[in-house]
Amino acid sequence: MATPPACWPRLLLSSAPGPNMTIIQQPVVVTTTMVQQYRESPVQTVCPYCQANIVTAVSYDVGTFTWLIVSIIYLVGCVCGCCFIPFCVDGCKDAIHHCPNCKQQVGRWSRMYQGVRYKAKTGKRVHRQC
């Protein structure tokens, strides 16, 4: 048997637990991180600003997808004002999730970039992992 280094505690050097030996096992801490998927409908989450359990309030904002639909309708030939209809339809806009308590933006769901979500506090894009 190889000689262990001198820095090892005496407890580890014994070959087997004796009647007067106590073995203490450290507790294991498991941290679970959940990624919230924001879509069109309100979601239940914890607000990163006020730490309250909430159901988000959803509002809609014009995004890239809205402008793309307007451009396509315009190029097809509907220049008499019909091309502006996507500005009035929530189904063409991005969904913005707000905390009903502190009114801060918690998340955003973009119809154009469905694989990308935004972190609430940093505003950085985070790619969803499949």
- Residue 115 domain-assigned (yes or no): yes
C-beta separation of 44 from 55 below 8 A? yes
C-beta separation of 90 from 66 below 8 A? no
d(CA 51, CA 118): 18
Give the pLDDT of residue 77.
81
The dihedrals phi and psi of 24, each to the nearest 5 degrees, come to: -110, 125
Domain hosting 67: range is 30-127
- Residue 89 domain-assigned (yes or no): yes
- Residue 111 domain-assigned (yes or no): yes
Give 96 or 35, the one with higher predicted confidence. Answer: 96
Does residue 48 carry a pLDDT above 80? yes
Count of structural domains within the chain = 1
DSSP classification of residue 75: H
Does residue 127 carry a pLDDT above 90? no
- Residue 11 domain-assigned (yes or no): no
Q: What's the CA angle centered on 114, arms 130 and 82, to 5 degrees?
A: 160
- Residue 121 domain-assigned (yes or no): yes
Token pair in block for residue 106: 């918690």
- Residue 23 domain-assigned (yes or no): no
Average confidence (pLDDT) over 11-21: 59
Q: Provide the whole-model pTM.
A: 0.60
- Residue 70 domain-assigned (yes or no): yes
Helix (H) or strand (E) holding 72: helix 64-76
- Residue 5 domain-assigned (yes or no): no
Candidates 43, 21, 23; CA nearest to 34 is 43
